Structure 1
Amino acid sequence: MLRIRKLQDTTSPANREAIAQVQAILRAQFPLAQAADLAKIPRQLEDPLAHGYRSVLWVADTPLGQVRGFAMMLHLPDVDAALLEYVSTAPGAHGGGGLGGALYETVRDEALSLGVSGLFFECLVDEPALISDAAALRQNIARLRFYERYGARPLLNNDYAKPGHAGDENVYFLMLDPLDAPSGLRRDKVQAVVRALLQRKYASLMSAAEIADCVASFADPIAQLRAPRYRPKAVAARRPRHPGIALVVNEGHDIHHVRDRGYVEAPVRIAVILDELDKTGLFHRLMPRHAPDALIHAVHARPMVDYLRSASAKLPPGKSIYPVVFPVRNWQRPPKDIEAQVGYYGTDTFTPLNRNVWPAARGAVDCAVTAAQSLFEGFELAYALVRPPGHHAERRVYGGFCYLNNAAVAAHYLSRFGRVAVLDLDYHHGNGQQDIFYTRDDVFTVSVHGAPPAAYPYCAGFADERGDGPGLGYNLNLPLPDRITAERYRETLAKALKAIRRFAPQYVVVALGLDTAQADPTGTWPLKAPDFAANGALLGALGVPTLVVQEGGYRTRTLGINARQFFEGLWRTHPAGAAREGERRAAVNR
């Protein structure tokens, strides 16, 4: 299975290896490419100001990291245009034609979301009068035929494809994909794009006078595209554009239903949230995929994981067991009896074990990882709507209704591809993420929560807990008293987001607790629906690919509307939410 993912940084080992494979593909497929052009790819991604454009690189790779193809686009915001720099598959890549189409459609989707006036690129000419090599001519024709299927054709009546000297066959059309817009571009806009392109890419090869002459040759008041030359073929089934929010729901959650009095973590929570989300039209439902056990073992101690799995399987239907003894002073000698072990791996007296705990908790992890993977599949925002929650599950213990830390597993998965910030917005401290990532500097954990020792988990969440070893300074706790205003909460959230911006993550994972709402049975804060919308908007303005994982929230009367308002606010300010508006704006600009 291949995934197409956008590389958000050049520092993570997985991304460095992907870039090296991209450079190898370029050397193999474009033997005339200059070594300097290959070497500058990482710099283009790291320093857009130095090059006068923002570079975006996608790779199509396997789960093992083998790159089968890639595409690179340059965004020139000052001239409202995008330039396709490369699209290529690896030599011998299976299904190369279909993969090339998928990559090109990914670039088109990005250009549409940016609202640019058009997607420009160079393509070797298909004119027999200019190309004497029959094999090269056939290859050029195949490329032009491919792009023509998407509406991309050469711009006419200009000197861009003028040979540099007699016999020069390395001649390119300047192509324009109008991105499905019906109207042509004005002369001044086309000339601005051509000038920017030549000055930023070919200043060392062309004089200022040559650039000016080429720009002036684009003299048509409205840009003209060459008439379709090749017999049209139906474009293969398009990869669906994903202008909404990926939604992955743990359908198996309802088997975990503890009916004991006072147990507020109930199945109805998911239903009331879904009822409201369905009204927005923002969500694109995905089915969960099985996540490998290795991801769970990377954040949780194997003995605890094995105990949860085996104890759940051994308990009879309908029976729940609770801790009686907590052997905190003797970690080296765990009890043998499964009921005695409840207090060995559990931290409190209200998180029971029963037959359905493991399948429900394991399903929640699958949902969180699937939602994280969707950030490489065209989505910029994703929501794992799961129960049981996970943010109180630490590396070797569980508690607080939580068994496996869904957000931490997803964050660890994402950390292979760049820096990750985990922002916990539950009323209760995210002690699980803090414990799991406390010595790591590639995952920044932040928690806004009720201050200990008054609020659960009582013994963690203090402001002076900042990380340890390499992780010192990469844990931020922002505890708040039990009585605050919505304005105080927003000010604290803004402080958290400021710290996250300084960390500059490539991905954000939000552990979303809705128990910060007014009258929630487990919290004391006053947030109402408009406050959740405002908080979501603050978060969306980060502009980073974001995964939201459901945690607490137990007042079912307002749970759904609060979730809906949060996501509508998040969507409104996140760049992904501008995709549809960008398409409309692009049409007006033409």
Structure 2
Amino acid sequence: MFRIRQIADTSLPSDQRDVARVQQILRERFSGLSAEEIDALPDRLRDPLRHRLRAMLLVADDLRGHLKSFALLSHAPDVGFALLDFIASGKDSGGGGGGGALYERVRETALGLGATGLYFECLPDEPEACSDPAYAAENASRLRFYERFGARPIVGTAYETPLNEGDLDMPHLVYDDLGRGEIPSAAELREVVRAILERKYGELCSPEYVALVVDSIQDPIQVRPARYVKRANPLPHIRTGENLVALVVNRKHDIHHIRERGYVEAPARVRAILDGLLPTGLFWEQEPKAFPVSHIDAVHDPALTRFLKAACAATPEGKSTYPYVFPLRNRARLPKDLTYAAGYYCLDSFTPLNRNAFPAARRAVDCALTAAGFLLESHSLSYALVRPPGHHAERSLFGGFCYFNNAAIAAHYLSEWGKVAILDVDYHHGNGQQDIFYSRDDVLTVSIHGHPSFAYPFFSGFDEEIGEGPGEGYNLNLPLPETVDGAKHLRAVGRALERISQHEPRFLIVCLGYDTARQDPTGTWTLGPKDFEHMGQTIGALRLPTLVVQEGGYRTRSLGSLARSFFEGLVDAHGGVY
């Protein structure tokens, strides 16, 4: 499996790595290219119209960031044609049929640009036109490949005229009508050829040479009869992986299992979600990587981290400690007994500490950071399926079944590479993100939730809470009443996405709760699978690199269908390209 994507700039480390690999392949495979031209590739991508030819780089990799092949495409919007400069693979790419899929993507890209046709050069397949007759067979193989798509050399012009007397290996100009069944007129082709010679080869082609070639183009334009393929018959469609969601699961979540009656944050939640998702074929599961605790301490008070680690380690196996003393004053004098101290760090009396809460929460953070890392590898969509959840964990407090704020930690991590927006669609207010980013303007926090007059955590989530200092205007709460159906919820999602679009984030994080659904034991709303599908479609239509982090949702009987519906909508609208 491989994916194909466009590199629009070189700001992400993964893009810089891939551009460097493309330059390496150009040096290995195209000895006639100057070092200056190869070195200029990053500048061409950053300034795509510098030479009146918009440079577009498509790369195919193996989903793990190992580049297999690439295509460099130029577009002349004023003339309306696309030029394929290079399509090549590395010597160690291992094949695998990616060339056909990549060329198909080039054709789709050209059509999307509104190009009247796709042009490219191919070296001659006549032995007498080659500096080494042995080259003819290799060139014939390339032309055979392109003939399968209906692309053939244009004949009857002076395009193959040597620049210097006696030059060989002069390329054919090949034309692909992109399935339109149209041949350009002489006037159209003259514009195309002039643009190619002047903009691409301006340093080599004299005005006299350009005039010679352009003036030779007369109606009717002819393409060479097929030599190798009786009729156009493109390769069978090859499934590529850019639409796959990178799935990172906390497979060790079940070490954290509270068996007390009424504790709904149970291990069965993850299995129910996976049962709904994995049969879709939309997911590509990867193991979480281990990250240092510094990522947690960048978002949470290190004192909270130290307390949770010590308190969980000190709790006897099979036992749980629930906070029951909550200080209203003198918070600086922490009790020595960790049982009493729990209330100094907790929001409520129903989030327990036990032997495995800390390691499970650490693993959930690793999953969220690993999934965030896939966005930095230019994956379009990723999903951290974790428990315990995290969106109620504030900078210095845990609670609401949450110990560390997985989404906030991932957002801070991604913010090094650009602005981030967090959209929380859990039934309960995302008080953790609000608290952590309340004074920051680089991370926008938006939460759609039950009004705090009746819904946990009761003390935050009011619409007048908009941020403070530099963060003023960068926190948006959309509290809703106790009775909400799918249509009303979708209108709130639309309002949220309008604000997110204004923020112009580079990355979007969705805190996804299924507790907005009908009959969830912790909510009062009535969303169904179709509503989740519509929500996914609406969010996906932004086509932002998106990380989904699992939060609530406790009716295990319906979790699978809700998850499947949301992600089918998200993937369908997102399209895997940005």
Report the TM range for the smaller structure's normalisation. Answer: 0.7 to 0.9
Aligned to 1:43: 47
Aligned to 1:234: none
> Contact 1:395–1:436 (CA<8 Å) still a contact in 2?
yes
> Which residue of 203, 217, 222 corresponds with 1:219?
222
| TM-aligned CA distance change 1:156 to 1:267, over 3 Å | same
**Would you say the 8 A contact 2:543–2:577 is kept in 1?**
no
2:490 maps to 490
The equivalent of 2:162 in structure 1 is 163
Q: Please state if 1:188 is matched with 2:183.
A: yes
Q: Does 1:566 align with 2:566?
A: yes
Cα distance, 1:53–1:346 mapped onto 2, change above 3 Å: same
| Paired-residue identity, % | 44
Aligned residue-pair number: 550
Aligned to 2:509: 509
Q: Is the 8 A contact 1:533 1:570 kept in 2?
A: yes
Is contact 1:244-1:577 (8 Å) kept?
Answer: no
Distance apart, 1:374 and its partner CA:
3.2
Question: Quick one: distance in 2 between partners of 1:255 and 1:400?
Answer: 18
1: CA distance, partners of 2:187 / 2:574: 29
Q: CA deviation at 1:401?
A: 0.8
Residues 407-426 of structure 1, C-alpha deviation per residue, up to 9 Å, x if partnerless?
22233333333332211110
Aligned-residue offset at 1:398: 1.7
Which segment is superposed worse, 51-60 or 336-345?
Answer: 51-60
In 1, Cα distance between the equivalents of 2:332 and 2:185? 72
Provide the C-alpha distance between the structure 1 equivalents of 2:140 and 2:441, rounded to a whole number of angstroms.
Answer: 48
- The 5 Å alignment of 1:414-425 reads 414-425=414-425
- Secondary structure class of the residue paired with 1:533: helix
The 8 Å contact of residues 335 and 344 in structure 1, kept in 2 or not, is answered as: no
1:84-131 deviations in Å (ceiling 9; x for gaps)? 556799xxxxx8743999997995585488695998655677988777
Give the conservation status (yes or no) of the 8 Å contact 2:389–2:550: yes
Which residue of structure 1 aligns with residue 233 of structure 2?
none
Aligned to 1:342: 342
**Could you tell me which amino acid in structure 1 is paired with residue 315 of structure 2?**
L
> CA 1:111/1:505 → structure 2, altered by over 3 Å: closer, same or farther?
farther
Q: Deviations over 1:5-37 (max 9, x none)?
A: 865667x68699779979998998742429987
Letter matched to residue 42 of structure 1: R
SS across alignment from 1:576: coil
Q: Which moved more, 1:158-167 or 1:268-277?
A: 158-167
2:474 paired residue number? 474
- What does 1:480-559 align with in structure 2 at a 5 Å threshold? 480-559=480-559
Cα-to-partner distance string for 1:247-304 (whole Å, 9 max, x where unaligned): 2221111111111222111111112222222343322332323234343333223222
Using the alignment, how far apart are the partners of 1:32 and 1:461 within structure 2?
56
Q: Is the 8 A contact 1:14 1:417 kept in 2?
A: no
Residue range with higher mean Cα deviation, 285-294 or 197-206: 197-206
Q: CA deviation at 1:208?
A: 9.1
Amino acid aligned to 1:407: A
Letter in 2 for 1:156: P
- Once structures 1 and 2 are overlaid, which stretch shifts more, 358-367 or 347-356? 358-367
Query: Aligned partner of 1:392: which letter?
Result: H
Change (3 A) 1:550 1:40: same
Alignment of 1:177-576 (within 5 A): 186-188=181-183, 204=199, 205=202, 219-220=222-223, 224=226, 241-327=241-327, 329-330=329-330, 332-375=332-375, 379-576=379-576
Task: Point out the more displaced range, 475-484 or 349-358.
Answer: 475-484
Deviation at 1:139, TM superposition (A): 11
Q: Which residue identity lines up with residue 45 of structure 2 in the other structure?
A: I
TM-score, L = length of structure 1: 0.74
Residues 262-271 or 404-413, more deviating:
404-413
Asked whether the 8 Å contact 2:365–2:409 carries over to 1, the reply is yes
Q: Is the 8 A contact 2:462 2:479 kept in 1?
A: yes
Q: Hey, what's the Cα distance between the residues in 2 that align with 1:314 and 1:569?
A: 45
- The SS at the match of 1:384 is strand
* Distance in 2 (alpha carbons) for counterparts of 1:534 and 1:570: 8
Question: SS of the counterpart of 1:251?
Answer: coil
CA distance in 2, matches of 1:308, 1:215: 80
What secondary structure is seen at the aligned counterpart in 2 of 1:445? strand
Distance 1:444 1:313, change over 3 A: same
2: CA distance, partners of 1:211 / 1:440:
59
2:4, 2:241 within 8 Å by CA — same for their partners in 1? no
Give secondary structure in 1 for the equivalent of 2:285: strand
| Structure-2 change in CA distance of 1:6 and 1:469 (3 Å) | farther
The alpha-carbon distance between structure 1 residues 224 and 140, as it changes in their structure 2 partners (threshold 3 A), is: closer
Residues 387-431 of structure 1, C-alpha deviations (whole Å, 9 max, x = no match): 111111222322111112222223333333333221111011112
Paired with 2:544 and 2:43, the residues of 1 have a C-alpha distance of: 27
Taking the aligned partners of 1:184 and 1:68, their CA distance within structure 2 comes to 27
Instruction: Give the TM-score, by structure 2 length.
Output: 0.76
Bigger-Rg structure (1/2): 2
Asked if 2 retains the 8 angstrom alpha-carbon contact of 1:482 and 1:524, the reply is yes
The farther-off stretch of 566-575 and 277-286 is 277-286
Provide the C-alpha distance between the structure 2 equivalents of 1:195 and 1:330, rounded to a whole number of angstroms: 83
CA distance in 2, matches of 1:405, 1:329: 26
- Contact 2:185–2:219 under 8 Å retained in 1: no
Once the two structures are overlaid, the 10-residue window that deviates more, 197-206 or 300-309, is 197-206
After superposition, the Cα gap between the structure-2 partners of 1:7 and 1:278, relative to the gap in structure 1 and judged at 3 Å, is: same
Maintained 8 Å contact 2:351/2:401: yes
